[in-house]
Each structure stands twice: as structure tokens, then as C-alpha cells.
Amino acid sequence: MAIQSTDLRTTVFKMGSFRGATPTAPGPTLRTSAGKAFNDEENEHFIVNNGLVRYIVNASPTPGVRVIDFAPTTGADDCFYLPYRDNNITSVRLSGTPDRFFTDNLSGCTVFIDRATNGDLIVFHANRQGLSYKPQTAETIADVTFEREVAIAVKKQIHDDAVASQYNGATPVGSLFKKRYNRGAAGYNNAQAFIGSSERFGGGTTVVGFKAGGAWQFWYQTWNQDSHACRVIGCEQFYP
């Protein structure tokens, strides 16, 4: 089953794991722009060395939910897969024949999209957990769209540094921040508060890219899991 953009409005998709991972097929590997192995430092740029993988859409025990798993040799369709790393930024160049892109689920991360000098799109997944929420207040805890300006600034800076060091000349063409993709979550919380329910947002965001007619488009889907069901509460195309 090849996932379509129309599916995102009705079916919840969550990112799964790299199925059958072995030492010889460990999934997409990352390297720093300096060629170092991943060493768990912060604010580093990691480039996907083999972003071309196969994906399968699997059933889930939760009704209405599908899981996208990535496999070394089996599966119906090719795709680009971009993992993320805590407090760092990862990137992949979309160069090749696959017409689908996936990255790990978002819960505060930022996606940046740039166009390289040869026309390829480059997608970044930036994460800076330590700066996002502190100091907390009652208002910021209640606001699921809240993100500290310093966290936004740091992610923008590590994105700019990554472009300068590895993709010189690339130009920014799109981005997706928490304030946008959690709007549906904020609406859900407001509605629950209005009816006196204690239920609050408990989900995440899935980002998928689709290539059609030679051009890429990127969508986000925000989903919520509450005591009743797991369902889509926000879905938009954010690029172009």
C-alpha cells in the first residue's frame, strides 16, 4: 500500500521502526558534516548516508491507526527516511527515484526545507529539547503551541550552520514549527475545557512528503489519543 496525501485526513499514521535491523542492515546511518561518528553531543549536524529505504504500512492494535515500518529488503514501496537525534539536526537530500518521504514523529521538533543549487530539496529535522519548556508556568504548560524564543532561535541557527557547512548556496523554501502543527491540539484542549472534560491532548505529529509530477509537496498530520479513540485533529499541506 502506497500512502497517499488524502489518507492523512482520515487515518492516523505513526512512524514505526526499522524492521529486521541487523549489523549488515542497520537502517539509515548518520554521519556528521565533519565525517565523525555520532557522539551524542548537542547542536551537531548529522547527514543521512543512506536515506533510501523500503517502507510498509502495517496494521495497528489501535483502530484507525496504521504504522509505517521501514525494512532493509522487503516492503511495497521505496522512500526517503530521515531519523532524528535529540538536541541535534539531521538532514537528507531528496535525490533519486523514490516519491515518498518520512521522518520520525514530531512533538516539538522543527522541519526545515531548502533547495540546493542543483534543484534538489534538502529536508532537516531539528530538535532542541532542553531549551523548549524552561522555565515552565501554568500558562506555558497549558499552551500546547508554546515554544520558547530561544529554542526557536537555536534551531534556526543550527539549520543555518548546517546549510553553510554542507549545502552551501541552498536557499530556504519552507519550514514547520510547533506553533503551526499543534493548532489542532490547542483547539482540542479548548473544546475539552469548555465541556468540562479532563481529557487533554496526548498525541503527536507525522510529516510525509509526496512527489507528484516531478514536484514535492509536504504535509503534516497531527493526531490525538484519548480515552475514546486515536484520530486526526489537524492536517495541512505546508510546502509549497
Measured CA distances, 74 to 1, 53, 59, 103, 208 (Å): 13, 10, 16, 19, 20
Measured CA distances, 150 to 108, 138, 139, 155 (Å): 14, 19, 18, 9
Strands 77-82 and 52-59 come out as antiparallel
pTM for this predicted structure:
0.92
Per-residue pLDDT of the chain (240 residues; tens, 9 = 90+): 678 999 999 999 999 988 777 777 777 777 776 655 555 578 889 998 767 888 999 999 898 899 999 887 777 789 999 998 888 999 999 998 899 999 999 999 999 999 999 999 999 999 987 655 556 666 666 789 988 888 899 999 999 999 999 999 999 999 999 999 999 999 999 999 999 999 999 999 999 999 988 899 999 999 999 888 999 999 999 999
pLDDT at 1: 61
Long-range contacts of 7-12 (CB under 8 A, 24+ apart): 8/206, 8/208, 8/219, 8/221, 8/232, 8/235, 9/221, 9/232, 9/235, 10/232, 11/64, 11/65, 11/66, 11/232, 12/62, 12/64, 12/65, 12/66, 12/206, 12/221, 12/223, 12/230, 12/231, 12/232
Q: At residue 139, what are phi and psi to the nearest 5 degrees?
A: -70, -45
Helical spans, DSSP H, in the chain:
129-132, 138-142, 149-166, 178-181, 183-194
Per-domain residue ranges of the chain: 29-50+79-239
pLDDT at 218: 98
Residue 127 contacts residue 85 (beta carbons within 8 Å):
yes
